[in-house]
Amino acid sequence: MTTMKAMTYYGENDIRFEDRPKPTIIDPTDAIIKMTKTTICGTDLGIWKGKNPEIEAVAREKTGEWNGRILGHEGIGIVEEVGSAVKNFKKGDRVIVSCISRCGSCENCQKQLYSHCQQNGGWIMGYMIDGTQAEYVRTPFADNSLYILPDNLNTDVAVFLSDALPTGHEIGVQYGDVKPGDTVAIVGAGPVGMGCLLTGQLYSPSTIIVIDMDENRLAMAKEMGATHTVNPDKEDAVAKVLEITGGRGVDCAMEAVGYPATWDICQKIVKEGGNIANVGVHGQPVNFELNKLWIKNLKITTGLVNANTTGMLIKACECNKLPMEKLATHHFKFSDIEKAYDVFKHASETKAMKVIIEY
């Protein structure tokens, strides 16, 4: 078989489920993975809507042509083939595919800044190279960018370990310096916000406030461990957070949406000495009230996931009692991936959190 089915982006509002060439080994550090489960990320929707025109621009610059880009950067599968330099994996291994590809030896990788790997790594899958929403995917730097899938790990949860859980944990919880007894607010109850909520509980905060306009997602947040929920459509979110915290504000506010309005809530609810952890992907500038923030001794962090805690999270998920699997609200066959996109695109109506696509 030389062709496979894949979901391919060709330009703004133009994605197609079509036949594509099956990937082959290019570099000796590559592996070819036969996918068994994947999912759709909010970033994929952003690409579909034209948020990342650089995908086509870079392709044309490198090759002089544009043949579309297979989407997706999350999933699990079975190793089909490995390059001559791959030592840690072999044909038949069940693996988790990380959203971050890393060489492991460049200056940035030596600092665990894997998202900025200088050897054409980082977040490239489904972006600068073809991704996981296909029957097969080529994974660069396989020894550093794949993880053995434990037999006792729920395979839906394993898919979330590609991106949503590491992103929430590293950029939200770790950068936000969440500690036992802290008060935390998470603005945005989408998949990454839920990743912040779930992994944040590993650090035993006393209060977790989830803020979102979707009542279904707020109800799910309560099921998953939120102590309070706030709907900005129905009440003043800033005033409510201050009421919950006795007028003090929170130790950490995590922005998990990427909109000016959600950023604005975060910068108004953090107490002195606290942390604002920006997790959301912003497509436009925000109002940064430095004139009010400077005096509060705040720490403000941003970042793209490095996936440097994925191994730890795999072990935590194996023994953890948190309801990670509840994130998987919808399941589709790969042949129905177009329907899955439609359901995820209209998540507020369909009550979709994460759609799992099975092969």
Confidence of residue 173 (pLDDT cuts 50, 70, 90): very high
| 248 and 311 together in one domain | no
Residue 297: give its domain's CATH number: 3.40.50.720
Tokens of 144: 């550093």
| 150: exposed, middle or buried (Cβ count in 10 Å: 0-12, 13-18, 19+) | middle
Single-letter residue type at 172: G
318 forms beta bridges with: none
| 97 and 175 together in one domain | no
Asked whether residue 311 carries a pLDDT value surpassing 80, the answer given is yes
Of the candidates 48, 40, 2, 30, the one whose C-alpha atom is nearest the C-alpha of residue 120 is: 30
E strand or H helix at 206, and its extent? Answer: none
Calculate mean pLDDT across residues 131-139: 98
> Which residue among 301, 316, 337 closes a domain?
301
Confidence of residue 321 (pLDDT cuts 50, 70, 90): confident
| 172 and 159 together in one domain | no
Of the candidates 274, 104, 74, the one whose C-alpha atom is nearest the C-alpha of residue 166 is: 74
pLDDT, position 322: 80
Confidence of residue 283 (pLDDT cuts 50, 70, 90): confident
**Residue pLDDT, tens place only, 54-98:** 999 999 998 999 999 999 999 999 999 999 999 999 999 999 999
| 145 and 235 together in one domain | no
Domain residues for 287? Answer: 165-301
| 44 and 140 together in one domain | yes
pLDDT, position 323: 86
Question: How many C-alpha atoms does 274 have within 13 Å on its Cβ side?
Answer: 21
**CA atoms of 12 and 240, how far apart (whole Å):** 39
Q: Where is pLDDT greater, at 322 or 244? A: 244
187 forms beta bridges with: 211, 255
| 79 and 207 together in one domain | no
Q: What is the pTM of this model?
A: 0.96
Q: How many domains does the chain have?
A: 2
**Residue pLDDT, tens place only, 176-212:** 999 999 999 999 999 999 999 999 999 999 999 999 9
| Locus of tokens 């590293």 | 170
| 30 and 150 together in one domain | yes
Tokens of 104: 């492991």
pLDDT, position 165: 97
